[in-house]
Amino acid sequence: MTKTLDLTPDELLTTTRTVRKRLDLERPVPMELIRECIEIALQAPSGSNRQTWHWLVITDAEKRAAIGEYYRQAVEQYLASSGSAGKLHADDPERGPVQRRVGDSVAYLGERMGQVPVLVIPCLQVRSLPAGNQAGLWGSILPAAWSYMLAARARGLGTAWTTLHFTFEQEISELLGLPEDIRQTVLIPTAYTIGTNFKPAPRQPLDDVLHVNGW
């Protein structure tokens, strides 16, 4: 196992940020490191212990560029929409500037997704999506995806949880030759970070969202 950064569990959990501008696009990432992170991710919970997860790791430059172009187009559409991060809470003196920084950062990654050395897409094998409760379904892959990101952070790698590529879900599935019953969950660009110091982010107060013994 690779030597990890000197972080306590709480530090790891509170400093695993969405990294966009500090992804090192030039430094190659050894496949062994990605394998290690996925190996750790496989320890996450899965409904009925089915483990019907699959992990797509894309390092091929042409395929990354093709996914990057789909992502760029999706981000362009997103940034033009009224719900994009940079436009939320525009009149709030505290949240507005943070949101504008997020919007700026999303745009930055939008132009560079295809240059990130490794793209990871955790997938779930599922025949059809149920109309009702889907939490049990996605709950069998999303915790594992987050574990992957934590393991990456512990090894000096940066990641970002991205979903805008879903605008072109079908096209990307075809590009990667995914079988019909394999659903993508999240597109995780992965690269060494420029510097390894990251801070906890501002969040809304706990008491605004905490409900003890009922709403």
Ligand X SMILES: Cc1cc2nc3c(=O)[nH]c(=O)nc-3n(C[C@H](O)[C@H](O)[C@H](O)COP(=O)(O)O)c2cc1C
Give the footprint of ligand X on this chain (CB under 6 A).
17-18, 20, 85, 102, 106, 109, 160-164, 201
Question: Nearer to ligand X by C-beta: 4 or 163?
Answer: 163
Q: What type of residue is 91?
A: D
Q: How far apart are CA 169 and CA 103, in angstroms?
A: 22
Helix ranges, the chain (H):
9-15, 31-41, 61-80, 95-112, 135-138, 142-154, 169-176
Least Cβ distance, residue 186 to ligand X (angstroms): 7
Least Cβ distance, residue 133 to ligand X (angstroms): 18
Burial of 43-66, coded b for 16+ CB within 10 Å and e otherwise, reads: ebebeeeeebbbbbbbeeeebbeb
Least Cβ distance, residue 202 to ligand X (angstroms): 9
Least Cβ distance, residue 49 to ligand X (angstroms): 25
Question: Nearer to ligand X by C-beta: 66 or 109?
Answer: 109
Cβ burial, residue 198 (10 Å; 0-12/13-18/19+):
middle
Alpha-carbon torsion angle 179, 180, 185, 187, nearest 10: 50
Least Cβ distance, residue 136 to ligand X (angstroms): 18
Question: Nearer to ligand X by C-beta: 54 or 161?
Answer: 161
Count CB-CB contacts under 10 A for residue 200.
11
Least Cβ distance, residue 116 to ligand X (angstroms): 12
Q: Are 83 and 132 in contact (CB under 8 A)?
A: no
Question: Nearer to ligand X by C-beta: 146 or 192?
Answer: 146
Question: Nearer to ligand X by C-beta: 102 or 175?
Answer: 102
Question: Nearer to ligand X by C-beta: 20 or 155?
Answer: 20
